[in-house]
């Protein structure tokens, strides 16, 4: 059928199929700003367009319905200002505000948010924050925590009203010396001048130790280097690069939790018109591997196959199909006949280790790592003893024990897993994929595809969020096998349901804690046992669960002689079950540990009538002390001693307390009660946490830097920007060394053919590890520029006595102490065209010998309905010591987004399976992630220490926001109403049950 529509002011006539959705038609017509969030059901809002000026999710209507209507997408709004000789009107003010406010992280939701904002501001140019939140609530964002998008819309509104909107930088002043004045009381903060805004784009920054030198680029709230293209919805993500002749892949997933495939018949599927290939385990090589994207050798068992004759969870792979269209591929899946011989299934982790339990991995190819033992359904076993725990317990006045449980939760990045594969003209396999680990993917795929590494090229375009979910070689092999089978390009993307049933998630755990304490609050021994569920495959089993202890149990070492020789035990069993595999998820095992540890600390403090914060600080690790686990465990590799040089925790606590008004609220009965509402109780809670920065002696980053004719630079990095802004902070570091602006550094990441090796984006390593590699590469380039500048200056003035060490690079010049200079452009032209010609370039690599921990104090304020058990989180404050902050906008965006993910862990998110292993949560209706209009107030404070192991003094910021929110909320619930919720999330049902059994609500035994 034909439809007529006006698309972005152009009148068009299109031939469409009556059953096609508007989303499918728009994307087929290369209107690529309209994003598929995988739900295709109106849940995520990433496909929103304006129809006759109103936002509508394009997946929820048929293309036929827009016949005669006006459709607007972001392609019709704004252009890059400067396009050579052609001048344009530039970006729309909303787009500009999104860039300036740092409202764009991965950018996958950005076009939909901008359109929604446009709709609002066209009818109301003075919206309240509530109205903005209401408008944005139709678009889910997993990255930002919505603070900065809300700020952006209010900022754009002010601009559209004709007000003078000061640059973001004017809100931001990094204090130059110690000490700085921060407000002691809540509410003292200045508000933005142009609006009634309560969100805060720029965090507070307190400098605890002065940095070694003044910087011009490091510490600046630079705009993201990729923001301009993302805010215009330009082709940037994998799905934007599908060419003609591309087949669509689909996978038949197992409907049963545990079975062998007795018989499989694909003849009918193969015979279907439009089907190019159907593959089963009988068609491809049987190569055992691990899907975990980690360094070589992978620290976990090899227990997976691309396709197998056995299925181990509902959602496991049975067959691959490639067809001309998605509809044909779906039809083909239905024609595959499979006879399963069902086996007993283990759904609950406790059952995995019971005598007589069915063995989930009995394949002869299984490769053990460390203490994995498939006969016992053990993917990993961890036994770490530090000091003498039994003696510590003997010396304690009290022994406190508690049981805690944490659920399986999902990363829920809005861009689903997605990959495009094809042979290039040289018969090399090109894998364009949304991955955190391009180099690991290339190495891991080679044996599976039976291609040498040199014949595989992995390209990572923009990634629409990962959060650990894409630290996995999850679907690349599917498309690549089908490209090998058909010789044609193959595109494969997960639906939202696929994400829930067949992806990776956070390890659920049951944790037992036993703590010995003296009467004065000194911890004498601390012991944790964790039973961790890796699901059907052991990807990240050892390392995630190891970090539960390695970081969760490292913070509290004790006082006095215990501080010198802490007594800590961490044992864990990581078991296989017939449920979807767990894997890497931002925080990497540490949020699980801190749920238990921080709930336990709160209960101990209350039981012994100690001040809860003083008790923590008394026992917390201090600067200059040895990381207690550093000599005991290192992700399955040889541990090496490591000193913790910088600890800003005490200042985090002080500043966080001031921001949330701790002293005015804690222990204040008036504050806890709400007048006329006796069923509502207020509470306040704290959790203190530490993380790590990269994996020492292992994580390696590389960078190369090349100078161009105009004095600009190409920075190539293997590091993987997932939307975190790492490309931007790496450019800032290069610009700092070279004395140029960020816009003079053109960053490209990542392509295994062109960019240097990097382990990828995980373990909070990019800014620290890849950043140090960039600095090394930039140092080499700077040195060469300085040498040339000396020669050029001496040529002009032969009497000049000068060495390269005396040359300073700043303001795009190489400047001698006497003020004479050559510009970098002159140096570049000299090098490339005039004298002793050479390409000035440098390569740098960096491996760290330490993993400096960031520290944080997380505060939560809640209101609990003691009749229904409903918890409303009103405010979250996080004060973080992440060393020097390279970019306060991107860094605070990380903290805000992380806190909101963690808020889901605290109160709403969990994945549950029935006795057959069938998932209850398969969409964003049953699995609720926070919307813009449901947010508590968020506040971020950076306590800036100077970490001596990094040239710019920085530590990680990306993961630590996940660690403390849930226990701080749990502790706030306890403070509000005396209910101990020891299993998160704190759903109304759990809180209500805890309230009913309040007399013995605490399972902590003294």
Distance CA 94, CA 96 (A): 5
Please tell me whether residue 468 binds ligand FES under the rule CB under 6 A.
no
Stretch that binds ligand FES, among 38-46, 373-381, 400-408, 474-482 (CB under 6 A): 38-46
Distance CA 114, CA 601 (A): 44
- CB nearer to ligand FES: give 925 or 1006: 925
Please tell me whether residue 236 binds ligand FES under the rule CB under 6 A.
no
Q: Which residues, 141 to 160, sit near ligand FES by CB under 6 A?
A: 141-144
Quote the tokens at residue 191.
Answer: 């508000």
Can you tell me which of 33, 42, 316, 938 binds ligand FES, judged by CB under 6 A? Answer: 42
- CB nearer to ligand FES: give 412 or 420: 412
User: Least distance in Å: CB of 579 to ligand FES?
Assistant: 26
Q: Which helix (H) or strand (E) holds 813?
A: strand 813-815
Please tell me whether residue 523 binds ligand FES under the rule CB under 6 A.
no
- Please report the sign of the dihedral spanned by the C-alpha atoms of residue 981, residue 983, residue 984, residue 987: negative
Distance CA 536, CA 313 (A): 6
Please tell me whether residue 720 binds ligand FES under the rule CB under 6 A.
no
User: Least distance in Å: CB of 36 to ligand FES?
Assistant: 5
Instruction: Give strand pairing partners of 192.
Output: none
- CB nearer to ligand FES: give 224 or 457: 224
User: Least distance in Å: CB of 40 to ligand FES?
Assistant: 5
Please tell me whether residue 647 binds ligand FES under the rule CB under 6 A.
no
Strands 429-433 and 456-459 come out as: parallel
Please tell me whether residue 724 binds ligand FES under the rule CB under 6 A.
no
Residue in this structure with the two tokens 């921060």, named with its chain if needed: 182
- CB nearer to ligand FES: give 54 or 998: 54
Residues 378-408 as b or e (16 or more Cβ within 10 Å = b): bbbbbebebbebeebbebbeebbebebebbb
Please tell me whether residue 36 binds ligand FES under the rule CB under 6 A.
yes
Distance CA 441, CA 759 (A): 10
Quote the tokens at residue 197.
Answer: 């805004």
Task: List the x/- string, 104-143, binding to ligand FES by CB under 6 A.
Answer: xxxxxx-------------------------------xxx
Spatial contact of 209 and 945, defined as CB atoms under 8 Å apart? yes
User: Least distance in Å: CB of 149 to ligand FES?
Assistant: 8
User: Least distance in Å: CB of 414 to ligand FES?
Assistant: 4
What DSSP state is assigned to residue 338?
E
Can you tell me which of 219, 465, 589, 725 binds ligand FES, judged by CB under 6 A? Answer: 465
Nearest to 750 by CA among 727, 720, 712, 784: 720
Nearest to 303 by CA among 360, 376, 381, 370: 360
Please tell me whether residue 226 binds ligand FES under the rule CB under 6 A.
no
Please tell me whether residue 40 binds ligand FES under the rule CB under 6 A.
yes
Please tell me whether residue 43 binds ligand FES under the rule CB under 6 A.
yes
Nearest to 536 by CA among 475, 578, 503: 578
- CB nearer to ligand FES: give 266 or 414: 414
Please tell me whether residue 500 binds ligand FES under the rule CB under 6 A.
no
User: Least distance in Å: CB of 979 to ligand FES?
Assistant: 34
What DSSP state is assigned to residue 130?
H
End-to-end CA distance of the chain: 75
- CB nearer to ligand FES: give 725 or 844: 725
Can you tell me which of 45, 203, 387, 508 binds ligand FES, judged by CB under 6 A? Answer: 45
**Whats the size of the chain, residue-wise?**
1006
Can you tell me which of 39, 197, 333, 541 binds ligand FES, judged by CB under 6 A? Answer: 39
CA distances to 466, 703, 746 from 740, rounded to whole Å, are 31, 18, 12
Residue in this structure with the two tokens 């975990």, named with its chain if needed: 292
Phi, then psi, of 157 in degrees rounded to 5:
-60, -45
Task: List the x/- string, 415-454, binding to ligand FES by CB under 6 A.
Answer: ----------------------------------------
Per DSSP, the three-state class of 693 is coil
Please tell me whether residue 46 binds ligand FES under the rule CB under 6 A.
yes
Distance CA 486, CA 322 (A): 8
Per DSSP, the three-state class of 896 is helix
Nearest to 151 by CA among 115, 197, 94, 114: 197
Please tell me whether residue 200 binds ligand FES under the rule CB under 6 A.
no
- CB nearer to ligand FES: give 108 or 633: 108
Please tell me whether residue 408 binds ligand FES under the rule CB under 6 A.
no
Stretch that binds ligand FES, among 101-109, 235-243, 455-463, 874-882 (CB under 6 A): 101-109
User: Least distance in Å: CB of 757 to ligand FES?
Assistant: 27
Q: Tell me how many degrees the CA angle 574-579-583 measures, rounded to the nearest 5.
A: 55
User: Least distance in Å: CB of 144 to ligand FES?
Assistant: 5
Strands 713-717 and 745-748 come out as: parallel
User: Least distance in Å: CB of 505 to ligand FES?
Assistant: 18
Please tell me whether residue 848 binds ligand FES under the rule CB under 6 A.
no
Distance CA 630, CA 696 (A): 10
DSSP letters for 306-325: SS-SEE-STT-EEEEEEESS
- CB nearer to ligand FES: give 36 or 892: 36
Give yes or no for a cis peptide into 671 (omega within 30° of 0).
no
Please tell me whether residue 239 binds ligand FES under the rule CB under 6 A.
no
Spatial contact of 846 and 701, defined as CB atoms under 8 Å apart? yes
User: Least distance in Å: CB of 45 to ligand FES?
Assistant: 5
Query: Which residues make Cβ contacts (< 8 Å) with residue 56, sequence separation at least 6?
Result: 48, 49, 50
Phi-psi bin for 181: left (phi > 0), alpha (psi -120 to 50), beta? beta
Stretch that binds ligand FES, among 100-108, 315-323, 663-671, 709-717 (CB under 6 A): 100-108
User: Least distance in Å: CB of 498 to ligand FES?
Assistant: 13
Can you tell me which of 49, 51, 59, 742 binds ligand FES, judged by CB under 6 A? Answer: 59
Q: Which residues, 884 to 913, sit near ligand FES by CB under 6 A?
A: none
User: Least distance in Å: CB of 139 to ligand FES?
Assistant: 8
Residue in this structure with the two tokens 């032209």, named with its chain if needed: 829
- CB nearer to ligand FES: give 433 or 655: 433
Stretch that binds ligand FES, among 1-9, 33-41, 590-598, 767-775 (CB under 6 A): 33-41
Task: List the x/- string, 355-394, binding to ligand FES by CB under 6 A.
Answer: ----------------------------------------
User: Least distance in Å: CB of 502 to ligand FES?
Assistant: 18
Q: In what order do the strands lie in the sheet with 54-57?
A: 10-15, 2-7, 70-72, 48-51, 54-57
Nearest to 307 by CA among 344, 252, 345: 252
Phi-psi bin for 258: left (phi > 0), alpha (psi -120 to 50), beta? beta
Can you tell me which of 44, 444, 705, 873 binds ligand FES, judged by CB under 6 A? Answer: 44
Phi, then psi, of 12 in degrees rounded to 5:
-130, 155
- CB nearer to ligand FES: give 38 or 546: 38
Quote the tokens at residue 906.
Answer: 């605290």
User: Least distance in Å: CB of 39 to ligand FES?
Assistant: 4
Please tell me whether residue 813 binds ligand FES under the rule CB under 6 A.
no
State the Rg of the chain over Cα: 28
User: Least distance in Å: CB of 104 to ligand FES?
Assistant: 6
Please tell me whether residue 233 binds ligand FES under the rule CB under 6 A.
no
Query: With CB under 6 A, what is the number of residues at the site for ligand FES?
Result: 26
Site for ligand FES, rule CB under 6 A: 23, 36-37, 39-40, 42-47, 57, 59, 104-109, 141-144, 414, 465, 723
């Amino acid at each position: 059928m034909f439809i007529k529509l006006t698309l972005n002011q152009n009148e068009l006539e299109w031939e469409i199929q009556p059953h096609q959705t508007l989303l499918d038609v728009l994307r087929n017509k290369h209107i690529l700003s309209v994003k598929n969030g995988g739900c295709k059901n109106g849940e995520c809002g990433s496909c929103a367009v304006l129809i006759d000026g109103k936002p509508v999710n394009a997946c929820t209507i048929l293309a036929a319905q827009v016949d005669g209507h006006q459709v607007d997408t972001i392609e019709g709004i704004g252009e890059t200002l400067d396009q050579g000789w052609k001048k344009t009107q530039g970006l729309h003010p909303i787009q500009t505000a999104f860039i300036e406010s740092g409202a764009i992280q991965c950018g996958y939701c950005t076009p939909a948010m901008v359109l929604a904002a446009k709709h609002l501001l066209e009818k109301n140019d003075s919206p309240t924050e509530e109205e903005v939140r209401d408008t944005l609530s139709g678009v889910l964002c997993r990255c930002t925590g919505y603070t900065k998008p809300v700020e952006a819309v209010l900022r754009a509104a002010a601009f559209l009203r004709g007000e003078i909107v000061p640059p973001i930088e004017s809100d931001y002043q990094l204090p130059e010396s110690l000490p700085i004045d921060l407000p002691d009381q809540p509410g003292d903060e200045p508000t933005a001048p142009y609006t009634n805004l309560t969100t805060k784009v720029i965090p507070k920054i307190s400098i605890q130790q002065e940095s070694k030198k003044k910087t011009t680029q490091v510490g600046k709230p630079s705009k993201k280097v990729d923001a301009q293209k993302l805010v215009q919805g330009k082709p940037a993500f994998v799905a934007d690069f599908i060419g003609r002749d591309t087949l669509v892949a689909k996978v038949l997933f197992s409907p049963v939790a545990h079975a062998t495939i007795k018989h499989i018949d694909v003849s009918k599927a193969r015979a279907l018109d439009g089907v190019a290939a159907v593959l089963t385990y009988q068609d491809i090589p049987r190569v055992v591997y691990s899907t975990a994207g980690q360094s070589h050798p992978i620290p976990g068992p090899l227990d997976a196959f691309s396709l197998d004759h056995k299925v181990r969870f509902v959602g496991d792979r049975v067959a691959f199909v490639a067809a001309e269209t998605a509809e044909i591929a779906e039809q083909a899946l239905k024609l595959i006949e499979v006879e399963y011989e069902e086996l007993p299934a283990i759904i609950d982790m406790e059952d995995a280790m019971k005598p007589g339990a069915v063995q989930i991995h009995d394949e002869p190819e299984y490769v053990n790592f460390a203490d994995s033992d498939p006969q016992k359904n053990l993917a990993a076993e961890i036994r770490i003893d530090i000091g003498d725990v039994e003696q510590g317990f003997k010396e304690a006045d009290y022994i406190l024990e508690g049981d805690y449980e944490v659920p399986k939760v999902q990363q829920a990045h809005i861009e689903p897993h997605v990959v495009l594969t094809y042979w290039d003209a040289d018969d090399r396999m090109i894998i364009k994929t949304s991955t955190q680990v391009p180099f690991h993917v290339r190495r891991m795929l080679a044996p599976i595809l039976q291609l040498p590494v040199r014949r595989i090229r992995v390209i990572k375009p923009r990634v629409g969020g990962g959060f650990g979910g894409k630290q996995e070689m999850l679907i690349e092999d599917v498309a690549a096998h089908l490209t090998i089978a058909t010789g044609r390009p193959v595109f494969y993307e997960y639906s939202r349901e696929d994400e829930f049933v067949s992806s990776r998630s956070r390890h659920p755990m049951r944790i037992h804690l036993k703590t010995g304490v003296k009467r004065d609050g000194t911890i004498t021994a601390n012991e944790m046992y964790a039973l961790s569920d890796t699901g059907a495959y052991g990807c990240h089993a050892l390392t995630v669960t190891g970090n539960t202890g390695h970081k969760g149990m490292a913070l509290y070492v004790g006082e006095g002689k215990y501080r010198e020789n802490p007594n800590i035990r961490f044992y864990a069993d990581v078991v296989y079950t017939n449920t979807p595999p767990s894997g890497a998820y931002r925080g990497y095992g540490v949020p699980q540990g801190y749920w238990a540890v921080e709930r336990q600390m709160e209960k101990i403090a209350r039981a012994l009538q100690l001040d809860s914060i003083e008790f923590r600080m008394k026992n917390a690790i201090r600067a200059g002390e040895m990381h207690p686990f550093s000599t005991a465990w290192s992700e399955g590799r040889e541990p090496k001693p490591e000193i913790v040089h910088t600890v800003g925790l005490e200042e985090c606590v002080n500043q966080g307390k001031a921001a949330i008004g701790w002293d005015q609220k804690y222990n204040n009965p008036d504050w806890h009660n709400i007048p006329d509402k006796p069923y509502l109780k207020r509470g306040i809670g704290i959790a203190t946490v530490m993380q790590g920065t990269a994996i020492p002696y292992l994580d390696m980053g590389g960078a190369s830097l090349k100078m161009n004719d105009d004095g600009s630079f190409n920075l190539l990095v293997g590091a993987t920007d997932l939307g975190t802004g790492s490309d931007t902070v790496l450019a800032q570091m290069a610009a700092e060394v070279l004395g140029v602006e960020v816009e003079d550094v053109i960053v490209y990441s990542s392509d295994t053919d062109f960019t240097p090796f990097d382990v990828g984006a995980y373990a909070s390593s990019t800014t620290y590890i890849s950043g140090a590699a960039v600095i090394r590469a930039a140092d080499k380039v700077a040195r060469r520029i300085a040498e040339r500048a000396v020669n050029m200056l001496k040529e002009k003035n032969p009497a000049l006595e000068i060495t390269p060490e005396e040359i300073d690079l700043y303001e795009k010049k190489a400047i001698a102490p006497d003020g004479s200079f050559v510009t970098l452009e002159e140096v570049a032209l000299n090098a490339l065209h005039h004298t002793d010609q050479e390409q000035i370039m440098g390569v740098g690599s960096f491996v760290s010998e330490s993993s400096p921990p960031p520290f944080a104090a997380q505060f939560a304020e809640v209101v609990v309905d003691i009749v229904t058990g409903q918890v409303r989180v009103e405010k979250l404050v996080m004060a973080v010591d992440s060393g020097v902050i390279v970019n306060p906008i991107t860094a605070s965006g990380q903290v805000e987004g992380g806190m909101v993910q963690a808020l889901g862990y605290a109160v709403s998110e969990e994945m549950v399976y029935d006795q057959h292993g069938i998932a209850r949560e398969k969409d964003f209706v049953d699995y609720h992630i926070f919307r813009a209009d449901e947010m508590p107030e968020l506040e971020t404070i950076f306590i800036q220490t100077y970490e001596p192991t990094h040239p710019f003094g920085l530590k990680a910021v990306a993961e630590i926001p996940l660690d403390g929110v849930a226990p701080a909320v749990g502790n706030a619930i306890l403070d509000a109403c005396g209910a101990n919720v020891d299993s998160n999330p704190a759903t109304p049902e759990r809180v209500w049950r805890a309230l009913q059994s309040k007399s013995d609500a605490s399972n902590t035994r003294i």
